[in-house]
């Protein structure tokens, strides 16, 4: 995955993002940036609009935005299924692996948008190195994996397309503290390799460890934003999101 | 013993046709999560097209079949295209849409070919083969061989090709499939096209075995549907086993219960399904809310 550091610098910029479901406004006028090579977190309670924000960036829900760009590319004109072809990988909430297909097929489908060649095999090898447990389970049906293994598979599947920006939706959901720390190690390694990340999480502790800048979303609007070093010491954030 | 074996052989060729019908049901279900209720009617269309090309246009039987499969495949594409807007609204609506489309096809069949049926002569001449005192019609062997070949090709397509894997992924998780770059609409279109092609194959092959009439697809559709459920809906080997089982069951029931044979077939089917609701090869392949 060394090639990533030499990729052109692309910033994800989101301005005035709004999402409506019927008459209900889930996200209102949210703006943020994910500079190339940076990891940005979005924390908030259940129903605050975190997942909607991520799905809106991905184009999986109808959205309005003043600007929605990835580098020079206008994302508002890109269909959800083409995002991966522009270097955006997506790890859905609740894992959503292809339960009836093998682990290896799941990973290979992550590279669906590219021809399956020797390079794909090589990326597959890298995934088994990053997640050794997936290598051991490569022939198993994805539905038969544990929650933690499925989460790793979902991340691995997204990485198979060699994205330049990774969107992650609640990778810690339903996992034990031990597994959460394993996921954290992976996220930190990806970050060190220069992969841009947008991480949506209820788990503020994990998010603060994995990212450098964070947005706090409440009721569909950005309540607070700033570097993790600062948010970590904010009394309100400490009380509500860190339970201190 | 001899009689029993002869009965089994008698049921296998129709069973192979049921298997082909079941394969169409299972393929669309496995790749879309949808039960295509128009499938039986598409079988009728395929049967009429194949017999028309064979009898009126005087094409050789094999060529008539290929043309019929191609034309019916296009009809499958049209069905998917018309129903596509319903998919994103409410999946149940799409299911009901297939029922509606079936009725439309039925009406079109009667408009084009009339309400009376036609007999199709067997394309394979020659006396039945005698083997260990059993009589086997050559055409039965042809049907069996083609059904086997279609099954093998379908299994290879789903298990060995990228497109096959992607099509199954769509039924398992719509959103994740989109995120990895799969064009869900195109995948569904291919599912409907191949499903319709299988329907035409079944309809064309059954022409010389049964009488081609507007009710043909209804009868074959319900047997194929039962076969798919018996084997485990969505399972490819299950569709084949289910089809052959229903065919043999039919043959026995016809020999022993004459007029009540259909009743007996479906009573046995119901009993098996009550004991094993997931079918023989029951597996969870579809995750549709």
* Amino acid A1: pLDDT: 47
pLDDT above 70: residue B273: yes
Is B17 inside a domain boundary?
A: yes
Q: Say yes or no to pLDDT of A6 above 70.
A: no
| Structure tokens given for B22 | 């079941």
Calpha distance B108→B117 (Å, rounded): 14
3-state secondary structure of A42: strand
Provide the CA B277 distance to its chain's centre, in angstroms.
21
Please indicate, yes or no, if residue B149 is contained in any of the structural domains. yes
CA R_g for chain B: 19
Domain ranges, residue B103: 2-115+139-275
Determine the Cα–Cα distance for residues A96 and B224; give it in Å rounded to an integer: 32
Would you place residue B63 in the very low, low, confident or very high pLDDT band (cuts 50, 70, 90)?
Answer: very high
Q: Which two tokens stand for residue A130?
A: 């990053």
Candidates A80, A90, A112: best to mutate against B (most CBs of B within 10 A) is A112
% of residues, chain B, pLDDT over 70: 98
Domain assignment of residue B127, yes or no: no
Average pLDDT over residues B244-263: 88
Average pLDDT over chain B, rounded to whole?
89
Q: Average pLDDT for residues B260-287, to the nearest whole number? A: 80
Chain A nearest C-alpha distance from B169 (Å): 6
* Residue A130, pLDDT above cutoff 90: yes
A162 touches chain B (CB under 8 A): no
**Is B128 a member of any domain?**
no
A101:B183 CB<8 A: no
**Chain mean pLDDT for chain A:** 90
CATH number for position B149 = 1.10.3470
Is B179's CB within 8 Å of A84's CB? yes
B129-131 vs B134-136, strand pairing mode: antiparallel
Check whether A3 has a pLDDT greater than 50: no
For residue A39, pLDDT beyond 90: yes
In chain A, the domains with their CATH numbers are 2-240 (3.40.50.300)
In this prediction, residue B100 carries a pLDDT of: 93
Q: Which residue has the tokens 């009406």?
A: B107
Top mean pLDDT of A33-37, A113-117, B126-130 is at: A33-37
Question: How far is the alpha carbon of B170 from chain A, nearest alpha carbon, in Å?
Answer: 9
Facing A112 at nearest CB: one of B180, B283, B285: B180
Query: Which among B87, B98, B131, B106 is positioned nearest to B43, based on CA atoms?
Result: B106
Q: Give the minimum alpha-carbon distance from A192 to chain B in angstroms, rounded to a whole number.
A: 24
Contacts of B270 (CB under 8 A, 6+ apart): none
Report the number of distinct structural domains present in chain B.
1
Task: State ipTM.
Answer: 0.89
- In A171-209, which positions are buried (b, 16+ CB within 10 angstroms) versus exposed (e)? bbeebeeebbebbbebbeebbeebbbbbbbbbbbbbbbb
pLDDT, tens only, B103-160: 999 999 999 998 888 888 888 877 788 877 788 888 888 999 999 999 999 999 999 9
Q: What is the mean pLDDT of residues B33-38?
A: 90
**What are the backbone dihedrals phi and psi of residue A136, each rounded to the nearest 5 degrees, phi first?**
-65, -30
> Across the interface, which of A85, A90, A99 has its CB nearest the CB of B287?
A99
Whether the per-residue pLDDT at A92 is higher than 90: the answer is yes
> Has residue B120 been placed in a domain?
no
3-state secondary structure of A195: coil
Alpha-carbon distance B26 to nearest alpha carbon in chain A (angstroms): 15
Please provide the DSSP assignment of B254-280 as one string: HHHHGGGHHHHHHHHHHHHHHH-TT-T
Which range, of A5-19, A60-74, B242-256, averages the lowest pLDDT? Answer: A5-19
Which of B20, B63, B239, B18 minimizes the C-alpha distance to B150? B20
- For residue B288, pLDDT over 70 is answered with no
CB-closest option in A89, A100, A157 to B172: A100
Length of chain B: 289
**Chain A residues lying within 8 Å of B172, measured CB to CB:** 98-101
Q: Is residue B219 a part of any domain in this protein?
A: yes
pLDDT score recorded for residue A119: 87
Q: For A134-193, write each residue's pLDDT tens digit.
A: 999 999 999 999 999 999 999 999 999 999 999 999 999 989 999 999 999 999 999 999
Which residues 6+ apart lie within 8 Å of A113 measured at CB?
A84, A85, A161, B180, B181
Is B125 in a helix, a strand, or coil?
coil
Sheet holding A12-21, edge to edge: A24-34, A12-21, A67-70, A73-74
CA torsion through residues A113, A115, A121, A126, sign: negative
């Amino acid at each position: 995955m060394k090639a990533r550091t030499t990729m052109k610098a692309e910033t994800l910029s989101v301005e005035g993002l709004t999402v409506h479901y019927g008459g209900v406004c889930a996200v209102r006028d949210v703006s943020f940036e994910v500079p190339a090579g940076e990891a940005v977190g979005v924390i908030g309670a259940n129903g605050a609009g975190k997942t909607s924000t991520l799905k809106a960036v991905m184009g999986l829900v109808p959205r309005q935005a003043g600007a929605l760009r990835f580098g020079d590319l206008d994302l508002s004109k890109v269909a959800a299924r083409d995002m991966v072809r522009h270097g955006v990988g997506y790890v859905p909430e609740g894992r959503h692996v292809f339960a009836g297909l093998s682990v290896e097929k799941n990973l290979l489908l992550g590279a669906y948008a590219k021809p399956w060649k020797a390079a794909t095999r090589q990326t597959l090898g890298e995934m088994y190195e990053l997640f050794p447990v997936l290598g051991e389970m490569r022939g198993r049906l994805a539905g038969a994996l544990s929650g933690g293994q499925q989460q790793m598979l979902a991340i691995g599947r997204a990485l198979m397309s060699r994205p330049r920006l990774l969107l992650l939706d609640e990778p810690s959901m339903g996992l034990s503290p031990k597994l959460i720390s394993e996921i954290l190690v992976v996220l930190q390694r990806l970050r060190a390799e220069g992969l841009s990340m947008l991480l949506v999480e209820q788990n503020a502790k994990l998010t603060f460890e994995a990212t450098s800048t964070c947005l706090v979303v409440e009721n569909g609007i950005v309540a607070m934003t700033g570097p993790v070093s600062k948010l970590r010491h904010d009394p309100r954030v400490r009380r509500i999101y860190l339970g201190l | 013993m001899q009689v029993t074996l002869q009965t089994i052989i008698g049921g296998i060729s129709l069973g192979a046709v049921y298997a082909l019908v079941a394969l169409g049901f299972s393929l669309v279900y496995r790749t879309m999560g949808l039960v295509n209720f128009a499938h039986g009617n598409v079988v009728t269309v395929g049967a009429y097209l194949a017999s028309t090309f064979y009898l009126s246009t005087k094409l050789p039987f094999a060529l008539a079949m290929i043309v019929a499969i191609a034309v019916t495949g296009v009809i499958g594409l049209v069905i998917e295209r018309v129903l596509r807007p319903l998919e994103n609204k409410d999946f149940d609506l799409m299911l009901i849409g297939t029922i509606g489309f079936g009725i439309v096809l039925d009406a079109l069949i009667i408009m084009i070919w009339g309400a009376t049926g036609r007999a199709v002569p067997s394309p394979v001449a020659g006396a039945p083969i005698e083997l260990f005192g059993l009589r086997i019609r050559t055409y039965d062997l042809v049907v069996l061989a083609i059904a086997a070949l279609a099954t093998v090709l379908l299994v290879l397509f789903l298990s060995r090709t990228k497109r096959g894997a992607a099509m199954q992924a769509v039924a398992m998780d719509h959103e994740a499939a989109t995120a990895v770059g799969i064009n869900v609409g195109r995948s569904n279109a291919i599912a409907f096209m191949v499903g319709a092609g299988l329907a035409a194959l079944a309809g064309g092959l059954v022409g010389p075995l049964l009488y081609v009439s507007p009710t043909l697809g209804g009868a074959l559709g319900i047997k194929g549907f039962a076969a798919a459920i018996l084997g485990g809906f969505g399972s490819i080997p299950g569709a084949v086993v289910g089809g052959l089982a229903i065919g043999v069951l039919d043959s026995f029931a016809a020999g022993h219960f004459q007029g009540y044979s259909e009743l007996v077939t479906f009573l046995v089917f119901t009993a098996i399904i009550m004991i094993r609701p997931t079918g023989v090869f029951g597996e969870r392949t579809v995750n549709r809310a």
